[in-house]
Amino acid sequence: MLTDARLRVVLLVSVHAGAEERFLHAYEQLSQQVAAVPGHISDQLCQSIENPSQWLITSEWESAPPFLSWVESPEHREMVKPLHGCVEDTRSLRFSVLRETFSAKDAAGRRAAPPVRLAPRVGDGLVRHALTFTVKPGSEQSVAKILADYAAPEARVDENTRLCRTSLFMSGNRVVRAVEVKGDLVAALRHVARQPEVRAVEEAINPHLEEDRDLDDPEAARDFFMRAALPVVHHLTADPSRPPNLRRHMLLYPVKEGCGPAVASLLARQDDLAVTKSKAELEAGGGKGQHTIVSSTVFQRDDIVVRMVDMDVPLDRELAVAAGVSGPRAAAVLGRLLDAGDGGKKIDLASEAGLRRFLTDCDMEPVTDRRAADY
């Protein structure tokens, strides 16, 4: 997802038989509220001509950050509650707008607007998602042991979906769990939640959570996981072949209040620049060498920004690229967006010593990293 590009959101909805009128009424109420959300451009409601139970909601947004800010907000959770009793299943897909084509009639009135010509990104066939939550101070070691010791769930979900990798990190009392799925992310998450070993782990960490949750109450469980969700706002893959012996790091950025979207956008642009530069260097060298960053994923919700990077070199080999800054200007801008936490001093990202301190502080502690046998 390109943080500065227009965003198209596609929501596939399966409506309970007989609930179509209630669903339509709930949508009409919701659409009026969504129209007032900053960043929203338009939306459409469609019903399948083959199966009346299948509906499609599409919406367009100025960019990803305003949509993600809204969809993860308490206001959004309240808005969509009337839909819960009508809907059997949903699946949300999010796309950056790269190209547009208009009819000759429509194009005549749009010549003043620049055409959309964004470059496509290379993918690796995986969908990524993360959750984050905090545990009670003092319980970190107990939680880490619980999360590290459980048996891995069955990787195969169905003939089209597999759970490929689960990476779990901690920093202080914050936990971040990232999953990589081939196929349907929602189906994979539901599959994992039903596994007895996973259910046992979730129950074991319940007493240690700062925020109480009741997994036996479907509404309460849904609310908790919506609040814990840490969406992907940007991902790139420099080498889809996944070279062996990559080093995975999860960096938790100390963001100033209200600066989360700006930090995520800056990190996305810097990783794009770093990968473009390394590709050019490889081409100039006849394919010899390696990518510093093989893949990067930026997760963001409000002011929680986490960047997961797979690197071909140690973290301290390329300090600036590892931190997400490729030049002095980017270092200065990011430094102003981050909270040093010591009397308002700026974080030093311009010097080698400052970068080393920053990466030491931000690099989360790995707890477990599980991969499917054929990943």
Give ∠ CA 277-280-286 in degrees, rounded to 5. 140
pLDDT at 122: 65
The H or E element containing residue 79 is helix 74-84
The whole-angstrom separation of Cα 73 and Cα 225 is 12
In 3D, which of 229, 173, 163 has the Cα closest to residue 205? Answer: 173
The whole-angstrom separation of Cα 48 and Cα 46 is 7
Q: What is the pTM of this model?
A: 0.78
Mean pLDDT of 249-276: 91
Pairing of strands 54-61, 127-134: unpaired
CA atoms within 13 A on the CB side of 316: 8
SS3 at position 74: helix
Identity of the residue numbered 118? L
pLDDT of 92 above 60 = yes
The whole-angstrom separation of Cα 11 and Cα 13 is 6
pLDDT of 133 above 80 = yes
Percent of the chain with pLDDT over 70: 90
